[in-house]
Homo-oligomer: A and B are copies of this chain.
Amino acid sequence: MSEDIRKNFASDNVTPACPEVIEAICQVNHDNVPSYGEDPISATLNKHFSDVFETETVVFPIVTGTAANSLALSAMVAPYGSVLCDQSAHINTDEGGAPEFFTHGAKLVGIPSSQGRMDPETLPTSLKHNLAKGVLTPPFQCLSLTQATEWGTTYSCATLSQLTEIAHEHSLTVHLDGARLGNAIAHLGCSPAETTWKAGIDVLSFGGTKAGAMAAEAIVFFVNDRTRPMIQSMPHLQKRSGHTWSKQRFLSTQLLALLDNNLWLTNALHANAMSQRLLHALQRHPAAQVPFDVESNEVFAVLPYPLIETLREEGYCFYCYPTPDGVPGGLARFVMSFYTRPQDVDALIESLNA
């Protein structure tokens, strides 16, 4: 009794897991093995991620993206410090205060931007104002970037490098929220290394769930002098937040399945293609307006309210944000995944055009 047409575009986390992930879970379900990450499957994580990212990594598998981001930040910033990010960043808007919880109240300072991308031009000013305030303001200790951004755009590797260079000059470490890193890589055509540590990223939240896992993310530390002390504290931070699985093999195996044969990137390429398919239709649509560059698996469109209501009545699921003042309608978001088929997008397009 499956859906004929998959009408839920609300998020890339409404999907099932992809079959390879479930298969991997079934395959490790035998034998007693040491718990809390001491099992032989988990023992291979560092090596597999190091291969994919072409550098030494230390990896902690984590069950949700919110926890991965927040745990990473808690290793990077003192409770009295602050995290600089784009105002639209997921950590700032959609994680229920988890970064503040894990960091014991470090302040997130969100800078406004137009397309979700922080700007290397204005970053130095933000840093200067903060540092001038001494103890009156929590000092910036971490820059958190998002790739792909919350608005579905991406940073070029060159822009990332500019941003991280400024951050490092001011003694900030750099975190990358990569919940949709695969989609960004698939769009940019660069390597995993190029868009992360080669561009100055110190710590990565590697997104697995939206890429096809059942529930699996990874905090990836690119080993350097800045990250070494973080790596030391992470096992304690992880356990203390209830995020150390006893039967960790079931978490690790999902990640390995995604890395195997570049499944995470294959899935991302497919999802991105579905986005472009919808984009082309919207660009020709007389009443739709696409405000953000479509550079991953998300498509945003300002649509008239009657059209939004019609879609909803037909069973379509998608988020709708308020538009800026004076712009009529709603800002609809359509998210594609490995599970979205061409016929699902085509059916949506048909409804949009009806």
Chain A interfacial positions (CB closer than 8 Å to B): 2-3, 6-8, 10-11, 13-17, 19, 22, 25-26, 28-36, 62-68, 70-71, 78-82, 93-98, 100-108, 129, 133-139, 209, 214-215, 233, 235-247, 250-251, 317, 322, 339
Contacts and interface: CB of A to CB of B under 8 A. Distances in A.
Given A22-B26, A29-B22, A136-B95, A240 B101 contact: yes
B97 A107 contact: yes
A107 B93 CA distance: 11
Given A19-B29, A79-B240, A102-B242, 6 more contacts: A13-B246, A64-B242, A78-B236, A93-B137, A101-B105, A215-B251
B80 A97 contact: yes
A67 B243 contact: yes
Q: Chain A contact residues: over half helix, strand or loop, or mixed?
A: loop
Contacts of A136: 93-96, 239
Nearest to A249: B16
A107 B100 contact: yes
A3 to B, nearest CB: 6
A135 B244 contact: yes
Nearest to A18: B29
A246 B96 contact: no
30 contacts: A3-B31, A11-B35, A11-B246, A14-B33, A17-B247, A19-B29, A22-B29, A26-B26, A32-B317, A32-B339, A34-B317, A64-B243, A78-B233, A78-B236, A79-B101, A82-B97, A94-B133, A94-B137, A96-B135, A96-B239, A97-B107, A97-B138, A98-B240, A98-B242, A100-B100, A101-B105, A104-B105, A135-B235, A138-B236, A138-B240
